[in-house]
Amino acid sequence: MAIDSDLKVAGFSGCNRFFGQVELAKGYKLRVVAMGATKMACIQEDEAHVEKVMTKSLQKWNNVALENQILTLTSELHILTFLPTDHSPEEDSEQQ
């Protein structure tokens, strides 16, 4: 998941790519609004499950923690952890 300086977000949710706008609130809270996604067929049941959990979780308010370049989003139901990568989203679109 990548968030730019305008708080636009894009990422991969297990089967599809998603995009939207990050909304921030006091108390280190984050959620993604106006979320859209590609519509690839998720044949693997585990990929479809991960994607469903991830996209639903991102659209709800999450507590945010950033430590050692690891972003953690926590809600009452889930903990999502995002690790840094060695490439930018622009590199992904250039490779496709």
In tens digits, the chain (96 residues) has pLDDT values of 999 999 999 999 888 999 999 999 999 999 999 999 999 888 888 888 888 889 999 999 999 999 999 999 998 888 999 998 875 545 444 444
Q: Report d(CA 20, CA 37) in Å as an integer.
A: 9
Beta bridge partners of 10: 2, 19
**The pLDDT of residue 49:** 87
Q: 5-27 pLDDT, tens per residue?
A: 999 999 998 889 999 999 999 99
pLDDT reported for residue 46: 84
pTM of the model: 0.77
2-95: what CATH class? mainly beta
Task: Give the pLDDT of residue 71.
Answer: 93
Alpha-carbon torsion angle 22, 6, 3, 63, nearest 10: -40
Alpha-carbon distance 72 to 26, whole Å? 17
